[in-house]
Amino acid sequence: MIPCRSPRELERLRRSGLVVYEVLREVTAAVAPGVSTWDLETVAERAIQERGATPAFRGYRGYPCVLCASVNEEVVHGIPTRKRVLRSGDVVSLDCGVVMDGYYGDSATTVVVGGEAELPPAVQRLLAATRESLAAGIACARPGKFLGDISHAVQRHVEASGFSVVREFVGHGIGTHLHEEPQIPNYGAPGAGPKLREGMVLAIEPMVNQGSAEVRVLGDGWTAVTADGGCSAHYEHTVAITKEGPWILTQP
């Protein structure tokens, strides 16, 4: 069963969503050559704490940090470390979640150290296509649509752009837990799966590879990397389904 949240609950999810937005904004501002991914972890932790929120990731299935920072060929779940020092042109996906008052928010963005202009055009297109695929998925988050419409919209845009969708990781329902029903693959058939209803809250998160879709997980048990060493991008928003259409909770 996919929970449908009341307006009161949506207001709480909105508060958590905006905290995640602000945290990611602070972390993004801290990204620069010479900064380690551990430095970003400390920025995220302080930003969460200052807002009276609690990290959602640390301790989740034993994950050790409040932030995931995945660099270049790392797809998702990169564990911040002092050893990973960023250089100009690195592509870093930043993923963070918080819980406040019992309600969760979860969002991810991908940033380029030194700015997107530093990138080869093919990687610029990867980032743009991933952002656009998230927007295409979000546009389907309306009452009366189906879960498969979201999945299909993401897949269609990614593949039409010449990139590939990661299959091993999925988006998810979110509310009083970080991960709730349903799972949201970034590929699928229109009209498939459960019908979307007012009050459902979904974390939609395309992970897109430049080359092959294949990924493997490193010996740390968390860091997912592309099998071919190509670059990968990840964007995520927590979105509520309302009568008026999609409400992006993790964006002002």
Residues lying near Co ion in the complex (CB under 5 A) are found at 106, 203
Q: Which of 25, 46, 60, 189 binds ligand MF3 (CB under 6 A)?
A: 60
Contact pattern from residue 97 through residue 136 relative to ligand MF3, giving x for each residue in contact according to CB under 6 A and a dash for the rest: ---------x-x----------------------------
SS (H, E, C) the chain: CCCCCCHHHHHHHHHHHHHHHHHHHHHHHHCCCCCEHHHHHHHHHHHHHHCCCEECCCCHHHCCCCEEEEECCEEECCCCCCCCECCCCCEEEEEEEEEECCEEEEEEEEEECCCHHHCCHHHHHHHHHHHHHHHHHHHCCCCCCEHHHHHHHHHHHHHHCCCEECCCCCEEECCCCCCEEEEECCCCCCCCCCECCCCCEEEECCEEECCCCCEEECCCCCCEEECCCCCEEECEEEEEEECCEEEECCCC
Q: Which is nearer to Co ion, 119 or 155 (CB)?
A: 155
**Residue 136 Cβ vs Co ion, minimum distance, rounded to whole Å:** 18
Q: Which is nearer to ligand MF3, 69 or 196 (CB)?
A: 69
Is 95 a binding residue for ligand MF3 by CB under 6 A? The answer is: yes
Nearest residue to ligand MF3, by Cβ distance, number only: 63
Contact pattern from residue 179 through residue 208 relative to ligand MF3, giving x for each residue in contact according to CB under 6 A and a dash for the rest: ------------------------x-x---
Site size with ligand MF3, rule: CB under 6 A: 13
**Residue 238 Cβ vs ligand MF3, minimum distance, rounded to whole Å:** 10
Strands 171-173 and 232-234: unpaired
**Residue 120 Cβ vs ligand MF3, minimum distance, rounded to whole Å:** 27
Site for ligand MF3, residues 40 to 59, rule: CB under 6 A: 57
Q: Which residues bind ligand MF3 (CB under 6 A)?
A: 57, 60-61, 63, 68, 77, 95, 106, 108, 172, 203, 205, 236
